[in-house]
């Protein structure tokens, strides 16, 4: 597994498309931070760290409305071979391109584009989610 952020978000997307109630993820600090943002944005119901076979794992609960998943699709923007960055002034142009939320990795932690804009900071664009 080369890129853990991509692995996390694709696992969540595939679980939502397969109508799974939950998805098991690696227990990593970045995964917890991303799940926390996805819960606050309403894409996940919640997440918890449990011990499974003597190993701690992160279990994320997929959120559904009217029997269909809230998460429609994701687009991984920044990859190990090509990192994409946004300054605070360029975030409005990126957000305006559609009804999606961008998730950024900043020096203040993982946050949405709206939060980064309020704090006037830029960062690496991890992915777009809608």
pLDDT tens column, 24-81:
999 999 999 999 999 999 999 999 999 999 999 999 999 999 999 999 999 999 999 9
Q: In this structure, are 57 and 18 located in the same domain? A: yes
Of the candidates 78, 24, 84, which has an alpha carbon nearest to the alpha carbon of residue 56?
A: 24
My answer on whether 44 and 83 are in the same domain is no
pLDDT at 2 over 70: no
What's the average model confidence in pLDDT over 103-119? 96
Domain that holds residue 18: 4-69
Judgement on whether residues 12 and 61 belong to the same structural domain of the protein: yes
Question: Any idea how long the chain is?
Answer: 130
Rounded-to-integer distance, Cα 80 and Cα 38, Å: 22
Task: Examine the domain organization and report whether 39 and 65 are in the same domain.
Answer: yes
The yes-or-no verdict on residue 103 having pLDDT over 70 is: yes
Domain count, the chain: 2
Name the DSSP letter for residue 92.
Answer: H
What are the strands, taking DSSP E only, across 22-122?
22-26, 44-52, 55-62, 64-65, 68-69, 74-76, 85-86, 101-106, 109-112
Which CATH number belongs to the domain containing residue 84 in this structure?
Answer: 3.30.1490.10
Q: Which of 50, 69, 88 lies at the terminal end of a domain, its last residue? A: 69
């Amino acid at each position: 597994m080369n890129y853990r952020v991509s692995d996390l978000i694709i696992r969540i997307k595939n679980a939502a498309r397969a109508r799974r109630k939950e998805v098991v993820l690696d227990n990593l600090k970045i995964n917890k931070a991303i799940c926390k943002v996805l819960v606050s944005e309403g894409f996940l119901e919640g997440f918890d760290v449990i011990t499974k076979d003597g190993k701690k794992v992160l279990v994320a609960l997929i959120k559904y409305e009217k029997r269909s998943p809230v998460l429609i699709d994701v687009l991984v923007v920044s990859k190990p071979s090509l990192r994409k960055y946004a300054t605070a002034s360029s975030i409005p142009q990126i957000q305006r391109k559609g009804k999606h939320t961008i998730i950024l990795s900043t020096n203040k932690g993982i946050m949405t584009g709206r939060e980064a804009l309020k704090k006037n900071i830029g960062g690496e664009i991890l992915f777009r989610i809608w």
